Amino acid sequence: MWKQKMGEKFWANEDDKMVVESVVGREACELLISSGNAASDVTLPGDLGVQQGLAQLVEGSNWNYAVFWHVASLRSGGISLIWGDGHCCDPKLGAAEDGSSHQNVRSDRVEKKEELNKLVLQKLHSSFGRSGDDNFAERLDGVSDVEMLYLSSMYFSFQSDSAYGPMGSLKSKRVIWASDAPTCLDHYQLRSFLAKSAGFQTVAFVPLKNGVVELGSVKAIPEEQNVVEMVRALLGAPASNKTKVLPKIFGQELSLGGVKSQSVTINFSPKVEDDSMFASETFDAQRVDSNQFHGGTSNGYPSDNEAKLFSHPNQIVMRGFSPQTRISGLEQHKDESSPYADDRKPRKRGRKPANGREEPLNHVEAERQRREKLNQRFYALRAVVPNISKMDKASLLGDAITYINDLQMKIKALETEKDMVNDKHKPQLVPDFDVQMRHEDAVVTVSCPLDAHPASEVIKTLRNHQVAPECDVSMKDGTGVMHTFSIRTQVGGVEQLKEKLVAALSK
């Protein structure tokens, strides 16, 4: 059970290894081969309910993919991050990459690479794929490098205590945002070869309660707090039904409400105690008055017990391994992954704690979490609504309503416009026609409105400019139609006619 039997066969073949290595890189390939698959017999967590959120993150944005890395506990006692779910949106259509307008270049070299990618993916899948959805790789017809990184990520997992990549984000509970290619590759760790091939320039990791969301893009995307908040709002509720089990963890029961991203960590006011820890965060949405962000203060991994409810699939464990050793210049993780700094922290705002009882302490915590969830939704709403007038909650809602109505009107206009186009172009394609017999021949007549005719402007211009053209012949070659108009004109009028035609056709 420490090695998959199918895998054995494939990796024994040296040629196959070379092929895979050429795609995923040497180091990753080595680890793929040598790593024992911890608990390869169990299935993935199944539907985590995050697919929709991931899709929304990617669609319509500059991100090329989003992956949710799920926390899983190892038999050894540690934890690891395994593939939870993902969404990829590679804009492969209309490539024209190198500035050369030859599409043949693409269809030659790139398509060859895509077929190679597909082949490697099939090998990976047959070796390490989960038993469930088979031949998923066979469905693909050519895998771009972007998709390759995304799809092959399924076969990686992270167990290291590195400060890079998803585990680095999870351990430090910090958002990692690398928007230049070198730093980016650092955080891709073993997948850096794949990331380099695909040309990724930005990768971001957002730690959540029971996992990490990874976003990647081939574009250089500057850090946006909006995106982070949107991630937290959209994916704040993964596997909510299962978190209901074991609501009390420690003696000090903390109600992990099931619909929280990382709210179990204790909030504190950054302005008072810990200004220095917020150097790498950019806050563009609003003033950070209260505590929606927090440093590493937490009482342990909240999903420690929760994660045991999930089983981790058959994936290659990626041990502490960083392909580059240089320190990222963009993220100063002063983390050291200190996950056990906790205790109650003083709150500044609001009323005095009314120190009389101890029993409603759970209630206030729940209310805190509810408020924070609502605020995250507000931040996420700010992220998707443009033209925010006054960084105000009420104004935000009003702007959102306005924006929704604008969008609805726009959609209605576009749809009616489309219908108009259809109504105008459909009967154009079905013109009146008639077939009649004359002597030994058949005469087919086809009539269509003048405006729908390709040569309508020419015909109109001729009719306006000259007397009726009178005689014209249309001839057809293989793929086109050619209309020829022979008209009687005076000397010198040709230039004038040509100008008129150009003017008429270019308007």
Name residues contacting a second copy, limited to 51-90 (CB under 8 A).
Answer: 52, 56, 59-60
Residues 325-354 interacting with a second copy (rule: CB under 8 A):
none
Which residue of 75, 326, 351, 438 would you call a contact of DNA, by CB under 7 A? 351
Which residue of 374, 391, 467, 503 would you call a contact of a second copy, by CB under 8 A? 374
Confirm or reject binding of residue 352 to DNA (CB under 7 A): yes
Confirm or reject binding of residue 306 to DNA (CB under 7 A): no
Residues 219-248 interacting with DNA (rule: CB under 7 A):
247
46: DSSP letter:
-
Confirm or reject binding of residue 96 to DNA (CB under 7 A): no
Terminal-to-terminal C-alpha distance of the chain: 72
- Taking the complex as a whole, the smallest distance from the CB of residue 12 to DNA amounts, in Å, to 51
> CB neighbours (10 Å) of residue 88?
20
Give the residue with the Cβ less far from a second copy, 52 or 252.
Answer: 52
- Taking the complex as a whole, the smallest distance from the CB of residue 9 to DNA amounts, in Å, to 49
Bridge partners, 318 (sequence order): 158
Give the residue with the Cβ less far from a second copy, 13 or 489.
Answer: 489
Confirm or reject binding of residue 291 to DNA (CB under 7 A): yes
| HSE-up of residue 181 (Cα within 13 Å, Cβ side) | 10
Confirm or reject binding of residue 354 to DNA (CB under 7 A): yes
Which residue of 119, 140, 259, 288 would you call a contact of a second copy, by CB under 8 A? 259
- Taking the complex as a whole, the smallest distance from the CB of residue 272 to DNA amounts, in Å, to 9
Which is it for strands 316-318 and 156-158: parallel, antiparallel or unpaired?
A: parallel
- Taking the complex as a whole, the smallest distance from the CB of residue 365 to DNA amounts, in Å, to 8
Phi and psi, residue 343, nearest 5°: 70, 165
Closest CA to 367 of 267, 295, 470, 300: 267
Four-CA torsion 424, 429, 434, 439, nearest 10 degrees: 140
Confirm or reject binding of residue 47 to a second copy (CB under 8 A): no
Give the residue with the Cβ less far from a second copy, 56 or 122.
Answer: 56
| HSE-up of residue 8 (Cα within 13 Å, Cβ side) | 5
- Taking the complex as a whole, the smallest distance from the CB of residue 325 to DNA amounts, in Å, to 39
Which runs of E-coded beta strand occur in 125-175? 156-158
Which residue of 216, 258, 270, 302 would you call a contact of DNA, by CB under 7 A? 258
Which is it for strands 176-178 and 202-207: parallel, antiparallel or unpaired?
A: antiparallel
3-class DSSP state of 230: helix
User: Could you give the CA distance from residue 493 to residue 496 in angstroms, rounded to a whole number?
Assistant: 5
Kindly determine how many residues on this chain lie close enough to bind a second copy according to the rule CB under 8 A.
91
Which residue of 46, 132, 360, 427 would you call a contact of DNA, by CB under 7 A? 360
Options 18-26, 48-56, 277-285, 345-353: segment touching DNA (CB under 7 A): 345-353
User: Could you give the CA distance from residue 78 to residue 76 in angstroms, rounded to a whole number?
Assistant: 6
Instruction: List b or e across 317-348, with b for residues whose CB sees 16 or more CB atoms inside 10 angstroms.
Output: bbeebbbeeeebebbebebebebeeeeebebe
Confirm or reject binding of residue 481 to a second copy (CB under 8 A): yes
Closest CA to 72 of 270, 314, 273, 255: 314
Which is it for strands 79-88 and 65-73: parallel, antiparallel or unpaired?
A: antiparallel
Phi-psi region of 246 (alpha: psi -120 to 50; beta: other; left: phi over 0): left
By a kind-dependent CB cut-off of 5 to 8 A, residue 279 interacts, out of DNA, a second copy, none, with: none
Confirm or reject binding of residue 506 to a second copy (CB under 8 A): yes
Q: Which helix (H) or strand (E) holds 38?
A: none
Give the residue with the Cβ less far from a second copy, 109 or 418.
Answer: 418
Confirm or reject binding of residue 394 to DNA (CB under 7 A): yes
Confirm or reject binding of residue 275 to DNA (CB under 7 A): no
User: Could you give the CA distance from residue 344 to residue 328 in angstroms, rounded to a whole number?
Assistant: 33
Q: Token pair of 41, please?
A: 């017999």
Give the residue with the Cβ less far from DNA, 156 or 293.
Answer: 293
Closest CA to 275 of 262, 259, 294, 260: 294
Residues 395-434 interacting with a second copy (rule: CB under 8 A):
397-398, 400-405, 407-412, 414-415, 417-418, 421, 425, 428-431, 433
Give the residue with the Cβ less far from a second copy, 206 or 458.
Answer: 458
Cβ(212)–Cβ(166) below 8 Å? yes
- Taking the complex as a whole, the smallest distance from the CB of residue 496 to a second copy amounts, in Å, to 10
Options 219-227, 372-380, 462-470, 474-482: segment touching DNA (CB under 7 A): 372-380
Q: Which helix (H) or strand (E) holds 202?
A: strand 202-207
Options 102-110, 179-187, 314-322, 441-449: segment touching a second copy (CB under 8 A): 441-449
> CB neighbours (10 Å) of residue 366?
13
Which residue of 9, 348, 412, 498 would you call a contact of DNA, by CB under 7 A? 348
Give the residue with the Cβ less far from DNA, 241 or 325.
Answer: 241
Residues 203-242 interacting with a second copy (rule: CB under 8 A):
230, 233-234
User: Could you give the CA distance from residue 204 to residue 222 in angstroms, rounded to a whole number?
Assistant: 10
Which residue of 168, 238, 257, 302 would you call a contact of DNA, by CB under 7 A? 257
Give the residue with the Cβ less far from a second copy, 149 or 233.
Answer: 233
308: DSSP letter:
G
Q: Token pair of 331, please?
A: 């993220």
Give the residue with the Cβ less far from DNA, 347 or 460.
Answer: 347
Which residue of 349, 426, 439, 507 would you call a contact of DNA, by CB under 7 A? 349
Instruction: Tell me which residues touch DNA (CB under 7 A).
Output: 247, 253, 255, 257-259, 267, 287, 289-291, 347-356, 360, 362-364, 366-368, 370-372, 374-375, 390-394
